[in-house]
Each structure stands twice: as structure tokens, then as C-alpha cells.
Amino acid sequence: MTLRRWLYPVLAAIALALLPLLLLVFAAMLAYPSLPSLDVLIDYKPKIPLRVYSEEGVLIGEFGEERRAFIKIGEVPDMMKKAILAAEDDRFYEHGGIDYMGVLRAAYSNFTAGGAKQGASTITMQVARNFFLSKEKTLSRKFNEVLLALKIEHSLSKEEILQLYVNQIYLGQRAYGFAAAAQVYFGKNPDQLSIAEIAMLAGLPKAPSAYNPIANPKRAKLRQMYVLRRMHELHFIDDKQLETAQQQHLIAKHGNQEFSVKADYLAEMVRQVVYERYQDDTYTQGIKVYTTIRQQDQVAAYKALRKDVLEYDQRHGYRGPEGYIDLRNGDSEESLEEALQDITVDDDLIPAVVQQASPKAVRAYCKGGQIAEISGEGLKFAQRALGDKVALNQRIRQGSLIRIQKDEKGAWQITQLPQVEAAFVSASPRDGAIYALIGGFDFGRNQFNHVTQAWRQPGSAFKPFIYSAALEKGFTPASVINDAPLVFDAAETGSEPWQPKNYDGKFEGPMRMRQALTKSKNLVSIRILQAITPQYAQDYITKFGFDAAKHPPYLTMALGAGSVTPMQLLTGYSVFANGGFRITPYFIRRIEDAKGNVLNRAAPVVAGEDAEQVIDVRNAYTMVSMMQDVVRQGTAARAMQLGRHDLAGKTGTTSDSMDAWFCGFHPTIVGISWIGFDNPRSLGDRETGGGAALPMWMDYMGKILKEIPEAEYNMPDNMVEARINNDGLRAADGELVEYFYQENLPPEKSYAPSGKLQNETVKDQLF
């Protein structure tokens, strides 16, 4: 009786104790069948962005709401795996999805800390949450998370689970997965990361916004140190590795994702083409685009354009600081970083806040934490702004926001963001494959693509097309035309009375057509256009890809008063370079899906094969010959510094120096350079195509043609080489050699009884 009296309460107590567990088991039995299918995990298809590559396969652009870079678990560096386990789940390979020891440890820690300070989510539980559940902190969500973790562990191997985690976890800055985060924060592939960088990334899953090294560098550092200590405690790294990693100074990249090759304008062109074809799938299906861009060319073009623009900017003086930051409340690193947070870094033009300034030295805090000491030559450009004779808003003083960069020797110097814009594009004249395209000085500041969107006056860079038309009308390089003043009324110009002049303001009288192009004589070009008629020229230039409507049939056409884009000039000059064939520039070689299947492949027309021949090969050869003289001894003679004799081209300077051009080529490559202001204004009285645009072209060509032997242009059939005199007449004793269509040979020199030349009668408009 006594035993029974004691036993019943005990059994009742046990039943009451087991009841929650039984209810939990019952709930699990009911919930388990309704858990979501794991198909999304087994057939994992992450949203992979559009990726754009150079011809060599170098990544030059990426577009998508989510930055992703799928990596197989076998390719994940061992140290990265260890860092993730140390930070998130060191017993991952020992538990079955739920780490009961971890739960007890977290419960004890939270109890002693007086609140929820530590969680107990395993990597498997995080995978369950990331794929299937919300992040709301409710008991039902946690219950489902546990059940899903058990189901995942039952269906997938540990390596498969870890692979899902490594690729799916959100790590801030729109980066999903550790491979993407390595690129976003450090510009590296996972196998290039140091232990310190790996630990920084491994600390992010806990709270990507709180431990973001860009937004919260100090908190990110604290979290990194915790991960390094855990790695050391678990014997994943030794004492020396710990010490080295703790001391390494990390600088996370600021701003948008950067690539080793700057090709933002070209990448955006690709994005537009792909989106037009594939719409929203563009950003999620892992489409890969391989372009015609050559890495070496793009790098050379980018550097050449930046150098040219900055040199132009230096010639026109320092305009003063960008702004002013009030330092009366102190200049701590935290306050200075906050002040510079919205100021973008323009490649090597670093924003900095002046802490101390005098005519002999400037001390400035750079965005990112570096302190720059500037003196000597580094102050030269802005020396005037360091005195007290300039307005306060133009003076460099404490609190001034300035730009600085390192020179070739690594010394800091004061510079500024340029206001002028520029463009450069190069391509193969054989099939139009674009090798380099820079649409402006900085895509981050100005997305307007000057190569394809800027309609500008070509100036004298348009003259070769007028001269080419003249060759078809019977002119030859030896034709003599008068370089003398002209005056036109409004009816002849289409606008207002016009008295054109040469750039130098001088007139040299009768000269051969070759000389006129070499010296870029405006009055000769106008007389040539008078002779062939503007209407004929307007129709003729369409052979080169120009829009007739953009070039009204007036005499001003001779001086390039119409409108072109750099891309159109690339097409036009390619006709001369390839022997008379019209090609179409293109920049996409092929488009592939995520599995490497080719969706689209370019089929360019090729000069000499299936491209249309739009001008006589003899015309092209003659124009090349004349444009070689432009480079050898004319307005582009500066290009002879490259030490080559196979280059040809034409400078272009518009009225009042609004635009400066150089359009030139080698038999294997055509390059177009332009510089000007978006809101057109003069570049300066002495700024010409030969001085402002040619250096950009030279810097590019010098690098690209460095190892390429000199080429020869072979004279085509039905042409004749003949000796002439300065009057353009054939003469056995002539000192000059000229090239003619066989049917257009000039007359021989002969004398009348009076001793005067018999061939002096020429059309009035030419003299």
C-alpha cells in the first residue's frame, strides 16, 4: 500500500515531464511531411549575374542584383574552410545538424550573461534558414529550422552542405558567397587571400552590416580578431601565423566592384545588347559574354586617355579645392572618414582633407586612413593656392577638400578632378573587332559614352573624305590649288556670311594637294569642295558610314562642320587602312549560357573576303600615302617620336578649338582619339588636335605596336609612280615622286617660245 502510494505520484511526475517531449515528437511527426522539398538544394541554381570578359577571358564587367561567383567545395582553400568552421560551427563534421553541446554551451553563456548573447545555429541550420525560412525570431521558425536541418543532414553529405553554405550566405555589399565577397572586398580570388583577409570574411555571416569592413572598419577588425583567436584555439593556425595576421593592415575596396581591366563603358554596351535579347534573364542566368577587347589594348588605352586628360588639365592651372570640411570639432580618423564617406575615389585621384597647410608643406588625411605629406614638386601645380593672394574658396587651408595622387617616383602631389572629357577607340580595320574602348575619363562620374553617343564636329579630321571624293573626280595628289582668301555670302554657307581662314592665319598661294593635306590648309579644302560640289561630297561620304543628314551640302563641310561620333570616324578611317572595304565595328565575339553552350556568335564581314568594297583600292592607297606625310612632316609630325614610318592619319581641330582629334592607323589597327568639353567651349587658343589629342593616340600605339615590325603598303595595279616638279607636272628631272591613277597622269613640263609654262591654265576656283 505504501509502495503504491509512492509509485503513482512518481509515475505521474514522469508522465508530466515527458509530456512536452512527447508533444514535441508528435508535432515533429506532423510537421516533417509538410517540410519543403530539398530539390532547390539538390539541384542548386544560384542567381548568377551577367559576366563580361575580354578576349583572353579576363573578367571586365558584372551585372546582377546579387554578386555571385559559384565555387565548388573542392576549390575552396582549406584555410577558408577552417576559418568558417572556427567562426560559425567548429563541430560541423561531428554533429548531425543539431549541435547539442553547442546548445548547452550557448544556454549557459546566455544565462551567466543575463540575456541572449550567443546563438547555437549550426551551418546546416543556417543553410535551412537561408533557403527556406525567414529571419524572424519565433519559436515556430526555430522549430522548423531544426527539422529542416535534420532533413538536410539525412539527404546531403557534409561537403554538399558546406558547399551550399559557402555559395549562398549573404556577406554584405550585395555579395552572396565567399568567392564573390573575396572579389568585392579585396579584388581577389579565394586562393589569393591572406589568413587575415580570410578571417575578415569569415566574420561576416554573423552580421554582415555590423561587421562590414567598408561601412564599419573598426567593428570588422574586432570580429576578425575574434575569428583569428578561435582559429588559433582550434590549432588551425600557429603562433606565428596568428601574429602575422593580427598585424596585417587590411584596406577593403570602396565603392563599386572593380576589375583589373577598366572597361566600364564597353561592359555597359554589352549589358544593353544582352538585355535587349534576354530581358530579365540577363541578370540571373549566368550568361557569359566574351568580347573583342584585348586586355593589353584596353589597359594601354585607359592609361593613355587618363594621362592625356590630366596633362591638358595641368596646362590650364589649378582651380582650387573641391570643397571645405569644418574641422573645428576635431579631426579624428572617425570624423574625417565620415566626412569623406560620400566622396568617390577616382582611380588614383584620392580625396583628402588638409590638416595643415603652408607654402612649403601640406599634410592631408586620405580617404582610407593614410596620411600624405606633400612638399617640393608635389606642391608646384597648386602653389598659387597656398598663398594669401587668392580668394578664400580657392585657397588650400585647413579643412580644404583636395585631390592627391602619387607621381612615378611614389611621392604625393596635389592634383584635381579634370573638367574636360575625352574618348578613345581602336579596332582591327580588317573585320572591325574593337580592341579598346574608353568612353570618358571616369565612368563613375559620367556614364555618357563619348565614343558612341557624342556627336561632335570632326574639324580637319574630316578632310581626308573630301580629298578622297576629289580623287574620284580626277584630282591627283599633284593637282595645284590656290591657298588664298575667300569670302562667301549666306546663300553659299547655309547660315551667315563667312570668311574662312587657315589655323595659322597665313596664306601660301598655289600648292599641290598633297602639301595642302599635310599642312591642313582650310582654303585649299574649300576650293576642292567647290570644284567637286558639296552635293557630290555629301553623297560620297556615305560610303564610309557617315549620315548624309548630319553633313549639310554647304562649303563648311570641307572643314568638318558636320557631326560625327568617334565610332563613325573609326569606321571611316578603316576604309583607308584596309584598302577600300566597308567594315562594321563589333565588340561581342560570342555569348554563352551558364553551362558554356554558345547562344550567339559574331559573324563579321571581312575586308578582302565578304565586305563591300566602297572605294577604289587605288584611292585608298593614295590617301594612305598622303596621310603618311601628315605624320612624317605635317600637323602630326610629333608621332614620328614613335620611330615608325608605317603610320598614317589626320589631326582635327574645330573652330575656336572646341574639339581636338587625331584619327590614325597602322595596317593592323585604327585608333581614334578625341578631347573636348561636354558643354562645348574652347579648349584654349593653342590647343589643337596635334597637341591635345595626338599624345593619347601615340601613348596607346607606342605600347601596342612595340613588338610589331614595320609594314609596307604595296602600290595596287593600274597605278603609276612618276617624278614631278613643285608645280605638279611630270618632269624627268623632278625632285618629287608621286603616285597616280594610270588614267590621271598629269601633263609633262613643256615650254612655249616665250619661255612660260604652257600648262598654267587651270579652273578659276582653284586659283
- Active-site residue, from 62, 88, 153, 687: 88
Mapped onto helix, strand or coil, the DSSP state of residue 117 is: coil
617, 584, 581, 472: which is closest to 537 by C-alpha?
Answer: 472
Contacts of 18 (CB under 8 A, 6+ apart): none
176 contacts 182 by C-beta, under 8 angstroms: no
The answer to whether the Cα torsion of 735, 737, 741, 743 is positive or negative is: positive
- The residue behind cell 595659322 is 504
| Phi, psi for residue 617 in degrees, rounded to 5 | -60, -30
Beta bridge partners of 578: none
56 contacts 295 by C-beta, under 8 angstroms: yes
Q: Which CA distances in Å does 619 have to 330, 471, 576, 646?
A: 71, 7, 8, 18
Spatial distance between the Cα atoms of 259 and 62, rounded to a whole number of angstroms: 9
The question of whether 62 is a catalytic residue gets the answer no
Containing H/E element for 509?
strand 509-512
The question of whether 88 is a catalytic residue gets the answer yes
Beta bridge partners of 361: 358, 375
Q: Parallel, antiparallel, or unpaired for β 400-406 and 350-358?
A: antiparallel
For 658-661, the CB contacts below 8 A with 24+ separation are 658/456, 658/457, 658/682, 658/683, 659/456, 659/457, 659/458, 659/459, 659/683, 660/687, 660/688, 660/689, 660/691, 660/692, 660/693, 661/458, 661/459, 661/461, 661/569, 661/689, 661/693
Containing H/E element for 704?
helix 694-704
459 contacts 652 by C-beta, under 8 angstroms: yes
Q: Which CA distances in Å does 115 have to 33, 107, 108, 508, 722?
A: 35, 10, 10, 93, 99
692, 230, 141: which is closest to 421 by C-alpha?
Answer: 692
- Active-site residue, from 460, 468, 520, 657: 460
Contacts of 113 (CB under 8 A, 6+ apart): none
445 contacts 420 by C-beta, under 8 angstroms: no
| Phi, psi for residue 682 in degrees, rounded to 5 | -65, 140
Active-site residue numbers?
A: 88, 460
